[in-house]
A and B are shown apart, each in its own frame.
Chain A
Amino acid sequence: MRLTLNKTRRNMALLLSVALVGAVLGFPSAATAADPTCTTASAVTTCTGETSDTAKYEIRVPDDFNGTLLLWSHGYTYVAKIPAQVPLLGGSGNDLRATIAPGAPDDMKMANALLNQGYALAGSGFAVPGWNAESAVKTNVELIGVIKKKFPTVKRTVAWGASLGGTITQRLAETNPKLIDAALPIMAFNNIDRVTGSNGGYGTDAVWLFKMFFDPTIKGFGYTAGPAGFGEAAADFGKVLAAVVAIQGGLQKSGADTWPATASLVPAAVKAALPARSALLMIGLLSGMPLRSSSFDGVTGTPIDTSSIAAASASTSANTGFSLALQPALAVAENMVNIAGFATFARYDLETQVGNKNFADNQNVDYAKKLSEDERATYNVALSGEAGIDGLLALVAGFKQAAPLKADADALAKLKKLDTMTGQINVPTIAFNNTEETVEFQPMMSWMIEKANAQHAAAVAAAKAKKKKAPAKKFAAFWGQPLDEYTKFNAAGPVVQSDTPGTGHVKFSFPQWMDMVRLGDMTARLKRLPSQAILDLTRESDPNWYPAEDFDADTFESIGS
Chain B
Amino acid sequence: MIRALKNRVRVGAALVALAGLVSSGVSAQAAAAPGVTKDTITLGMTSAQSGAASPGYNKVGPAMRAYFDYINEKGGVYGRKIVLKLEDDKYVPTNAVNKVNKLILRDKVFALVGNLGTATHTAALKKTPIIKQGVPDLFVNTGYSGFAAPKKYPTTFMYLPSYIMEAKIMAKYIKDKFPGKKVGILYQDDDFGKDGLAGFKAAGLTFVAGGTQKYASLSQATVGLTAQLTALKTSGAEVIILFGVTSATAVAMRTAAALGYGTTWGPQFILGSVGADPTTLLTLAGATTAEARAATLRSLTGALSLSFLPAATDTEDEYVKKFIEINTAYNKGVAWDNNVLVGMNQAMLVVQALRAAGQNPTRASLVSALKSKGGTFASAAYSKLDSANNVGFTGYWVGKYNSTGVIAPVDGGKPVVYTTDSSTANGDVATSTFVRPAMPADGVPTNS
Contacts and interface: CB of A to CB of B under 8 A. Distances in A.
A298 B93 CA distance: 9
Nearest to A538: B15
A203 interface: no
A430 interface: no
13 contacts: A113-B5, A117-B5, A301-B90, A313-B286, A319-B51, A377-B122, A377-B191, A531-B18, A534-B15, A534-B19, A536-B26, A546-B105, A552-B127
B191 A325 contact: no
Given A320-B51, A378-B119, A521-B12, 9 more contacts: A298-B94, A316-B51, A320-B53, A328-B94, A372-B126, A378-B126, A381-B216, A531-B22, A552-B128
A386 interface: yes
Interface string B42-56: 000000000111000
Interface stretch (A88-96, A420-428, A522-530): A522-530
A540 interface: yes
A547 B106 contact: yes
A117 B52 contact: no
B90 A533 contact: no
Interface string B187-213: 001110110000000000000000000
A522 B12 contact: yes
Contacts of B98: 299, 484
B180 interface: no
B217 A522 contact: no
A324 B91 CA distance: 8
Interface string A347-374: 0000000000000000000000000111
A522 B14 CA distance: 10
Interface string B205-244: 0000000001111110110000000000000000000000
A381 B218 contact: yes
Contacts of A384: 216
Contacts of B194: 386
Instruction: Sort A-B residue pairs by CB-CB distance and give the 6 closest, nearest first.
Output: A385-B216, A385-B189, A298-B94, A320-B52, A533-B22, A531-B23
Contacts of A320: 51-53, 90-92, 218
Nearest to A531: B23
A292 interface: yes
A100 B305 CA distance: 69
Interface in A365-397: 372-374, 376-381, 384-388
A66 interface: yes
Interface residues of B, number: 58
B125 to A, nearest CB: 8
Given A321-B218, A540-B106, A374 B123 contact: yes
A514 interface: yes
B16 A522 contact: yes
A548 B127 CA distance: 13
B94 A327 contact: yes
Interface of A: 66, 113, 116-118, 254, 291-292, 297-299, 301, 309-310, 313, 316-317, 319-321, 323-325, 327-328, 372-374, 376-381, 384-388, 484-485, 514, 518, 521-522, 525-526, 530-534, 536-537, 540, 546-548, 550, 552
B9 interface: yes
Nearest to A296: B94
Contacts of B216: 380-381, 384-385, 387-388
Contact of B19 (A298, A380, A522, A540): A522
B190 A291 contact: no
B191 to A, nearest CB: 5
A530 B51 contact: no
Interface in B22-43: 22-23, 25-26
A532 B132 contact: no
Contacts of A316: 51-52
Given A324-B218, A384-B216, A117 B19 contact: no
B264 interface: no
A546 B104 CA distance: 12
A548 B105 contact: yes
A317 B52 contact: yes
B366 to A, nearest CB: 21
B288 interface: yes
A271 B193 CA distance: 24
Contact of B189 (A317, A386, A534): A386
B6 interface: yes
B223 to A, nearest CB: 9
B268 interface: no
A254 B191 CA distance: 23
Contacts of A387: 189, 214, 216
Interface string B176-194: 0000000000000111011
B8 A514 contact: yes
A378 B288 contact: no
Given A533-B22, A534-B19, A540-B106, A378 B218 contact: no
A380 B93 CA distance: 10
A317 B26 contact: no
B365 interface: no
A559 to B, nearest CB: 13
A459 B140 CA distance: 42
Contact of B90 (A299, A381, A514): A299
Contacts of B21: 531
Nearest to A386: B189
Contacts of A299: 90, 92, 94-95, 98
A367 B128 CA distance: 25
Nearest to B7: A117
B137 to A, nearest CB: 15
A380 B92 contact: no
B51 A301 contact: yes
A385 B214 contact: yes
Contacts of B52: 316-317, 319-321
Contact of A291 (B9, B51, B94): B94
A348 B94 CA distance: 35
A525 B16 contact: yes
B129 interface: yes
Given A380-B190, A381-B216, A388-B216, A530 B94 contact: no
A537 B12 CA distance: 13
B20 interface: yes
B296 interface: no
Contacts of A540: 106
B122 A374 contact: yes
